[in-house]
A and B are shown apart, each in its own frame.
Chain A
Amino acid sequence: MEIKNAVAGTLESGDIQVQIAPNESKGLQINLESTVAFQFGEQIKKVITETLVELGVEDALVQANDKGALDCTIRARVTAAAVRATGKDVWA
């Protein structure tokens, strides 16, 4: 699947900003900054990975800046960024 640079989300408290870019090597590479990294870092990466795989995005660079978003918010922001990056509307 072809990927363009795309972004979704804000840096407000309770939100997460997700940037997706093409990855020249294979796989998902997630770079996470989070205000709750100690407690939820692994969980956030897991949600991002699962969401992208479900949408068929398997090779991408993901830069995520989390401000304490809940899992549902993370899924929504990742989905929006993926839709913008792939041009494939999952809501249609």
Chain B
Amino acid sequence: MSTIKQRQELIAAAAAKMGKQVYAYDEAPKNIMPRKELHQDNGKVTTLEDAIKKTGLKDGMTISFHHHFRGGDKVVNMVVAKLAEMGFKSLTLAASSLSDVHEPLIEHIKNGVISKIFTSGLRGKLANEISHGLMEEPVVFRSHGGRGSAIATGDMHIDVAFLGASSCDPMGNSCGYSRSENAKSICGSLGYALPDAQYADKVIILTDDLVPYPNTPNSISERNVDHVVVVDSVGDSSKISSGAIRDTKNPRDILLAKQAAKVIINSGYFKEGFSIQTGSGGASLAAVKYIRQSMIDQGIKASFALGGITAHMVKMHEEGLIERLIDVQSFDKVAAESLKSDPMHKEVSANEYASADEPGSATHCLDIVILSALEVDVNFNVNVLVGSDGIIRGAIGGHPDTAADSALSIIVCPMLRGRIPCVVDEVTTLITPGTTVDVVVTEYGIAVNPRRPELKERLIKAGLNIVEINSLKEKATSIIGVPAALPFGDKVVGVVMNRDGSVMDVIKNIKG
């Protein structure tokens, strides 16, 4: 017979050997409150101001945001206004992207609340002011994969992440959708927020739908969440599919989409189990519509569609034409709802989506990507960030990531936009290197990168209108004349990072 009392000496010896304490009997009573009530007041749920104080945020630190509500985002403006009110200065704002709706940041930059910006893109008045030299420090632009990678490697350290979520429980389990009756703002995937949630020192979830524990299946785990703040609204879902991701009715976009579909079908990559992604922009989003019939006719199914997921993709998935959806960002409400209810529609973090140094990132398994462009040059380099007037007006997004990793990258781009040439001698700003771009589809013909002679041959055989890219540039010039040089100043207002963490280009201020 060996009692625990008799074993005490041995227990003490074992503990000493392991460098541990001997268990001390805890006589304190258990908390017997029903757990639902107990968890309502677990200390994580608090006000925005209190949460900010508790994170220990200081002047000069880095705060981060996601852009899943796109034009409907309310979190950035709400949080930065609160930080301004609390007297913070010289913060670095690291957003996954910024758009027209973030115009109020102009005042916060002027007042010294925000002194640096890291983002994928800028639009509207904020972009215009920054292009004219609003900030002392240049804005650092990264692709979505590049941002995920920079966060994971510590190249871009985040002190406090402010992440809007469509539903969250008192522990912090949160999603971009909601299963409750009080669902207000739905954004779908939280892919761009996941690296922030994982790597930021402190994470605050802002939600307009606090649901009971457990909010499963969850996208962000309670393990990564420090504070939960309930607000009136995190975003306007109706504005998600606006701006760059509207469904096009423009006849030229439709023409480009149809041509891109022909390129895909005759590329040699259109076969059972292929994978596909479409970037933002009317023509690229519409291209899948025009490969659908060929998939049905030829009995070809795609293994997955990647990236910004749209209602078209969801429809083809539900028809059985696309087996799985890998969703870093839901481009409309249909996609957001599908992500909630369909287990074959998977959310993916920015790293696992497009990081160059993540071996298993989905872009590494991607066959075909269709992307738009502001400008393409005669060396197939692409600009999607700075307008031909020298003013920042777009976003890098996953453009260089997907172009580099896919087997076939197709750029759809009109030769002219009004009097602006889109096929030029040299792009205003280098975003996606021409070595990674395979085909350029314009309304005046299709150019194939000389690095891909086999592809060119296949497309010629298929009877497509294949032209030299130089001839497109010359044709553009013959119609519109030669544009005067842009009045750039000497100040660097933006730095463009390559996805490998090197500096690829700089953007100078524009005068006038």
Which A residues fall within an 8 A CB radius of B?
13-14, 35-36, 38-43, 67-71
Instruction: Assess whether B418 is interfacial by the CB under 8 Å rule.
Output: yes
Q: A70-B479, A71-B481 are in contact. Are A39 and B388 (CB under 8 A)?
A: yes
- Quote the shortest CB–CB distance from A51 to chain B (angstroms): 15
Convert B99-123 into 0s and 1s, putting 1 for each residue whose CB lies closer than 8 angstroms to a CB of A: 0000000000000000000000000
List chain B residues, Cβ under 8 A from A70: 419, 479-480
Query: B243 at interface (Cβ–Cβ under 8 A)?
Result: no
Across the interface, do B389 and A69 meet the contact criterion of CB distance under 8 Å?
Answer: no
Classify the secondary structure of B's interface with A: loop
CB distance from B414 to the nearest CB of A (A): 12
Distance of A91 from chain B, by nearest CB (Å): 25
Q: When A43-B481, A70-B480, A71-B481 are in contact, do A38 and B389 touch as well, CB less than 8 Å?
A: yes
Is there contact, CB below 8 Å, between A42 and B484?
yes
For residue B510, which residues in chain A have a CB less than 8 angstroms away from its CB? 38
Q: Which residues of B come within 8 Å of A, CB atoms?
A: 388-390, 417-420, 479-481, 483-484, 486-487, 510, 512
Q: How many A-B residue pairs have CB under 8 A?
A: 44
Q: Which residues of chain A come closer than 8 Å to B484, judged between CB atoms? A: 38-43
Which chain A residue has the least Cβ–Cβ distance from B484? Answer: A39
Closest A-chain residue to B480, C-beta based? A70
Question: What are 17 A-B pairs with beta-carbon distances under 8 A?
Answer: A14-B418, A35-B389, A35-B418, A38-B390, A38-B484, A38-B486, A38-B487, A39-B388, A39-B419, A39-B486, A40-B419, A40-B481, A42-B484, A43-B481, A69-B419, A70-B479, A70-B480
Residue numbers in A under 8 Å from B390 (CB-CB): 38
Minimum Cβ distance to chain B for residue A47 (Å)? 10
Q: A70-B479, A70-B480, A71-B481 given as contacts; is B389 within 8 A of A39 (CB)?
A: yes
Chain B residues contacting A35 (CB-CB under 8 Å) are 389, 418
Complex CA gap A34/B406 in Å reads: 39
Interface centre among B481, B486, B487, B510 (most CB of A within 10 A): B481
Roughly how many angstroms separate A68 CA and B418 CA in the complex, as a whole number?
5
Q: How far is the CA of A69 from the CA of B481 in the complex (A)?
A: 12
Knowing A42-B484, A70-B479, A70-B480, the reply to whether A36 touches B512 (Cβ < 8 A) is: no
How far, in angstroms, from A35 to B418 measured CA to CA in the complex? 10
Contact: B483 with A40, CB < 8 Å?
A: yes
Determine the distance from Cα of A30 to Cα of B512 in the docked complex, in whole angstroms: 19
A74 to B499, CA, bound (A): 44
Cβ-defined contact, A68 with B486, below 8 A: no
- Kindly report which residue of chain B lies nearest to residue A66, judged by CB atoms: B419
In the docked arrangement, what's the CA distance between A42 and B485, Å? 12
Of listed A39, A42, A43, A69, residue having the most chain B CB within 10 A:
A39
A43 to B419, CA, bound (A): 12
Q: Which residues of A contact B418 (CB under 8 A)?
A: 13-14, 35-36, 67-69
CB distance from B40 to the nearest CB of A (A): 55
Q: Which of A41, A42, A68 is close to B420, meaning CB atoms less than 8 Å apart?
A: A68
Q: Are A36 and B420 in contact (CB under 8 A)?
A: yes
Chain B hits for A68, CB < 8 A: 417-420
* Cα separation A14 to B416 with both chains bound (whole Å): 11
Chain A, residue nearest B481 (CB)? A43
A13 to B479, CA, bound (A): 16
